Amino acid sequence: MSEKTFLNYIGGEWKASASGEVVQSTNPANKNEIVGSVQKSTRDELDDAVAQAKGAQKAWRKLAGAERGNYLYQAAAIMEENLEEIATTMTKEMGKSLPEAKGETTRGIQILKYYAGEGMRSEGDVIPSTDASAFMFSKRVPVGVVGVITPWNFPVAIPIWKMAPALIYGNTVVLKPASEGSVTAAKVFECFDKAGFPAGVVNFVTGSGSVVGQGIAEHNDVNAVTFTGSNNVGRNIGNTVGARGGKYQLEMGGKNPIIIAEDCDIEAAVDATLSGGLKSTGQKCTCSSRVIVQSAIYDQFKERLLEKAKEITVGDGMDGSTWMGPCASEGQFNTVKHYIAKGKEEGATLALGGNVLTEGNLKEGYYIEPTIFDNVTTDMTIAQEEIFGPVLALMKVETIEDAIDLANDVDFGLSASIFTKNIDHILAFIDDIEAGLVRINSETAGVELQAPFGGMKASSSYSREQGQAAKEFFTTTKTVFIKG
């Protein structure tokens, strides 16, 4: 794949930044390979994009929902034609395996199709009036210009699951992707360009978070901001948007528990722990991080977990034999190394891995072994803070009640799962766990696109993404009273 410099997409045109500077994106599997470059934009480019979005919004919202849906269908069809190229770019840019990248791209296509259909669904309710001669109803209307700020770990799915509902409900969009995923996001925007969206409806501006991301949060003509990323950045965005009276939606970190009950199917539980915790190199906000195991099966579970973890193949995501790729960037690589050192320092037992991999071609990338800590207590840093890497923390409990209490003993509340055959334990877990996504006999990671997604506590601003729940954020309700 030849290196290419991607421009911003503003008002239906590809435009270079006035800064004259670009940001290179490198392959985390081979830091000497440049995947592509994007614009290092200034506030002027952002202001231009917002102005274009504001100017296009009135005509866009006046289109029939089905007509807006046709643009989404067209974008989905073009993405299908370019699936291989988009997925390959994703693997080269942020490191996840090619099958995972293809799966994510397919999911993005499915999300576009799902929301295209939303254009034909109900947008309000008839409400009885106390005046028998009057007619009263409610209708959903768009909020206006939506700023979309997305992370690098899902550079196709997350931008699309924010943009698609925003667009179908009549809003216009300005996307600012994370720099580490911007080339992949640009590939998606090439498909939106080819789909023929009216000028200004979809806009794409790359650059630093301090300039473009903060600029979106501060901009008075951006009516709503939807953000996925770190807690510190998310809180700042929420405070900034809220202070000017804008609407905001924050999806942030997780420290997700998987509870292993003594009556579980151990093989299934081990497989789910490894998949949920280590797939995508643990770089999912819903990944399993804390593995809470009842004492009666703790040793048996741990032994099997270590056996299967040793079989994991680590390497370049473009290699068909690779199960787990590199950390997505040098910064994330250093963060994971820091947490591994912290776990050792605070007294956890390193049961597996923890080393940087440098054999052969691996020395050119940001590779860390699958890492499992034993004897982890809830006061340890690796039991409380999000690592976003291939690190599992094993924790022992006596009862399911203890397990749920331990699972809740963090600031986060995004996802959680339990492996058990006991219906009482299942019901108690559903009722008592403090998480927005609850999964039974399944890994913590993953959510279906038609279902609401979001967290509790520090993981979220308590709004929900995806499914029809997205309508709550991307629209507001207008109540209409008509009297003849």
Q: Residue 184, SS3?
A: helix
Judge contact between 371 and 350, C-beta under 8 A: yes
CA distances from 142 to 66, 304, 476 (A): 15, 52, 6
* The one catalytic residue among 45, 100, 190, 251: 251
Task: Show the tokens assigned to 354.
Answer: 């923890």
Would residue 251 show up in a list of annotated catalytic residues for this protein? Answer: yes
User: What is the Cα–Cα distance from 170 to 68, expressed in whole angstroms?
Assistant: 8
**Start-end of H helices in 244-285:** 266-278
CB-count exposure of residue 29 (10 Å: 0-12, 13-18, 19+): buried
Torsion angle in degrees (nearest 10) through CA of 291, 296, 298, 303 = -140
Residue that the structure tokens 């999911």 belong to: 107
If you compute the radius of gyration of the chain from its CA atoms, what whole number of angstroms results?
A: 23
Residue 287 among the catalytic residues = no
Sign of CA dihedral 250, 465, 179, 330: positive
Query: Which amino acid does the sequence have at 277?
Result: G
Catalytic residue among 93, 104, 118, 285: 285
Give residue 97's region: left, alpha or beta (phi > 0; psi -120 to 50): beta
What one-letter code names the amino acid at 69?
G
Does residue 255 sit in helix, strand or coil?
Answer: coil
d(CA 414, CA 434): 8
Catalytic (active-site) positions: 251, 285
